[in-house]
Amino acid sequence: MADAANGGPLEITDANFADEIEGADGLAMVDFWAEWCGPCRLVGPIVDELAQEYSGRVTVGKLDVDANPQTAFRFNVRSIPSILFFRDGEVVDTLVGAHPRDSLEKKILEHA
């Protein structure tokens, strides 16, 4: 995973989800993924790129569902990758499955 200090995505956990995502002002995008998931490995680099490109404008995070099952369960994430979009802490949109970069960027622009 890219380093959040360098504009990459934040590592989101059950412990920091409330502060980092629900407490974020404006738009936040969270990639729910797992190491063993092939489609997740396709989407991961796209999420990393978008985190850098929209750094300072959109909070971008990645949550490993195996290590953080409570948050995945709370948001009814049953298939991965799932990308959830939050505006001011509330879910506003979801994309399930491997989507190309333009689909993710379209959602960012739609909700930003």
Over range 44-61, report the average pLDDT.
Answer: 96
Model's pTM, two decimal places? 0.94
pLDDT tens for 85-98 read 999 999 999 999 99
Q: Is 93 a catalytic residue?
A: no
Parent domain of 98: 4-111
Based on the residue annotation, tell me whether 83 is a catalytic residue of this protein: no
Q: What is the CATH number of the domain that holds 9?
A: 3.40.30.10
Catalytic residue among 29, 40, 43, 58: 40
Q: Which residue in the list 2, 10, 30, 37 is annotated as catalytic?
A: 37
Rounded CA gap, 64 and 42, in Å? Answer: 15
Please count the structural domains in the chain: 1
